[in-house]
């Protein structure tokens, strides 16, 4: 199975100019690969180009209407994206997104023809499998799941390979990514036990990100 590498730039960089510069540094090396760049939505129209996959970092659960500030999956699709990250732990914790809202977003994203990348994972004091069971209830089999334990995101404290393997087995035949402090040193080992990686911090450093891409290809 081909490995999928998702770059989640989060709310970075701070300006369009910096986003264009970062993209310029990685562009040629990610063409025609299973790499998806997810910059802030406002930068997408300035970066989208042929032979590279793009995604948004979030979407709304309605197609259109009186929802000030929201961006629908249909809008995301219409500018040339194929993917959308849904339920990232920062959305769940900082913006209080519930599992029900996330399920609605997944439904609308699929309706729009986007591939949802749904983030799941527990905090330190929670039972991994109880939390995941609730997070994936009603989520269809064809959705990509990214296991990102909260304590591993942006901390340098990775989930152990045994833990990731255990979660993968629990999720059986689903397409399964790992995310959480992935870098060029550990990417190869995670790629051996997953279908790909969701990368935050390391995707903002062109040299580091391209090293990870080389590991996968
Ligand atoms: C993420 O943003 O989903 C993520 C995994 O971040 P980082 O790679 O920085 O831990």
pLDDT of residue 2: 78
Tens-digit pLDDT profile for residues 65-94: 999 999 999 999 999 999 999 999 999 999
Do residues 61 and 101 touch, judged by C-beta distance below 8 A? yes
pLDDT of residue 49: 96
**Is the CB–ligand 1 distance for residue 154 below 6 Å?**
yes
Tens-digit pLDDT profile for residues 155-175: 999 999 999 999 999 998 999
Which of 92, 87, 80 lies closest to 104, judged by CA? 87
Q: Count CB neighbours of 186 within 10 A.
A: 18
**Is the CB–ligand 1 distance for residue 180 below 6 Å?**
yes
Looking from the CA of residue 8, the nearest atom of ligand 1 is: 2
- The residue nearest atom 3 of ligand 1, judged by CA position, is 200
Tell me which residues are annotated as active site. Answer: 88, 148
Which of 148, 86, 84 lies closest to 118, judged by CA? 86
């Amino acid at each position: 199975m081909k490995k999928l590498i998702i770059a989640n730039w989060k709310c970075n960089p701070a300006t369009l100019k910096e986003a264009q510069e970062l993209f310029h540094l990685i562009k040629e090396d990610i063409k025609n690969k299973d790499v998806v760049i997810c910059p802030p939505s406002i930068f997408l129209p300035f970066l989208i180009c042929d032979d590279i996959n793009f995604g948004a970092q979030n979407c709304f659960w309605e197609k259109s209407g009186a929802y000030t500030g929201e961006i629908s999956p249909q809008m995301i699709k219409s500018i040339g994206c194929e993917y959308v990250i849904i339920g990232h732990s920062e959305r769940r914790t900082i913006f209080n997104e519930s599992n029900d809202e996330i399920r609605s977003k997944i439904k609308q994203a699929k309706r729009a023809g986007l591939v949802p990348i749904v983030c799941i994972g527990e905090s330190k004091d929670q039972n991994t499998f109880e939390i995941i069971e609730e997070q994936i209830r009603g989520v269809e089999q064809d959705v990509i799941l990214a296991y990102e334990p909260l304590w591993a995101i942006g901390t340098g404290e990775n989930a152990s390979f045994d833990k990731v393997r255990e979660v993968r087995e629990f999720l059986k035949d689903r397409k399964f990514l790992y995310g959480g402090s992935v870098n060029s040193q550990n990417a190869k080992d995670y790629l051996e036990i997953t279908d790909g990686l969701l990368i935050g911090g390391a995707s903002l450093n062109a040299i580091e990100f391209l090293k990870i891409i080389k590991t996968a290809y």
